[in-house]
Amino acid sequence: MTKYTLILLGAIGVGKGTQAQRLSRHLGIPQIATGDLLRMEGQAGTDLGRRAAEIMNRGELVPDDIIVDMVRGRLLRDDAVRGAVFDGFPRTVPQAEALDGMLKDMDLPTPHVVSIEVPESEIIERLSSRRVCVTCGAVFNVKINPAAIENHKCPKGEARVILRDDDQPETIQQRLTVYRAKTLPMVTHYREKGSFREVSGMGTEDQVFARILIAMDPDLS
C-alpha cells in the first residue's frame, strides 16, 4: 500500500483549497482542510464551532491545541490510512512540530511540501471576488466565472453562494498580517527539510495543478 502525505502551503487565497480537492481525487487520499473542519463545527452549532467562528471572523488563528486535536481525530478515520492532503494546516511552528509527531505515530511518511506563490495584490483581488456555497462549500470567483453563480445560487444545488465573513476587506488585511507573523516562520521549518518545492499560483487552475504534480514527483503527472 503506497502511502502519501502532502502539505499545500501558501498565503490565504492562493488557491490551496481548489488544488487540494483536485490532488485528493488524483491521489485517492482525503483532503484535510482545517478551515473547512472549523466551519463544519460552526454549522453544527458546537461550542468549538461558536468559539472558532468568533476568532475566524476577527482574522486571528484558532489556538494550536484545538487545531492539533481536530486534525488527529480526522487522521485517525479509516479513509486516511494511506495519508492525506493537508490544506490550511499546519499554520504555525508548533502545529508543524505536532504534525511531524503524529505522522510518525501513525506510521505515515514524511510529507511532500509544495508552496503556492501568488503576489499579495493578486491575493486581495481574488479574495474579494471569492464566493462560497453555504451548503456544499464549493468555491467560485465572480470575476473569472460570473455566469456560474447567477442569482447567487450554487450550480451544484439551489443553495446560496456568499462572500465569507472573513473575506471582508478589513479581515483580509488582518489575515495577511497574521500570515506573515505566524505562518511564514513555519514555512522555514519545511524549507530546511528535504522535500520542499515552490510553484507559481498564477495562471489557470489546470496550469497550477500540473505544476504541483511535477513539483511533487514527475511520475505523478
Task: Determine contact, residues 155/149, Cβ cutoff 8 Å.
Answer: yes
Integer Cα distance of 180 and 125 in angstroms: 18
Q: How far is the CB of 72 from ligand ADP (least distance, A)?
A: 13
Stretch that binds ligand ADP, among 55-63, 104-112, 139-147, 213-221 (CB under 6 A): 55-63
Report if residue 126 touches ligand ADP, rule: CB under 6 A. Answer: no
Report if residue 34 touches ligand ADP, rule: CB under 6 A. Answer: yes
**Distance from the Cα of residue 130 to its chain's centroid:** 15
Integer Cα distance of 146 and 108 in angstroms: 41
Q: How far is the CB of 172 from ligand ADP (least distance, A)?
A: 9
Integer Cα distance of 138 and 121 in angstroms: 24
Report if residue 91 touches ligand ADP, rule: CB under 6 A. Answer: yes
Neighbour tally for 171: CB within 10 Å: 19
Handedness of CA 183, 199, 34, 13 (dihedral sign): positive
Binding pattern for the stretch 174-203 against ligand ADP, x by CB under 6 A and - elsewhere: -x----------------------------
Catalytic center residues: 16, 91, 130, 164, 175
Shortest CA distance to 212 belongs to which of 193, 194, 198? 198
Binding pattern for the stretch 143-162 against ligand ADP, x by CB under 6 A and - elsewhere: --------------------
SS3 217: coil
Q: How far is the CB of 13 from ligand ADP (least distance, A)?
A: 5
Q: How far is the CB of 218 from ligand ADP (least distance, A)?
A: 27
Compute how many residues bind ligand ADP; rule: CB under 6 A: 19
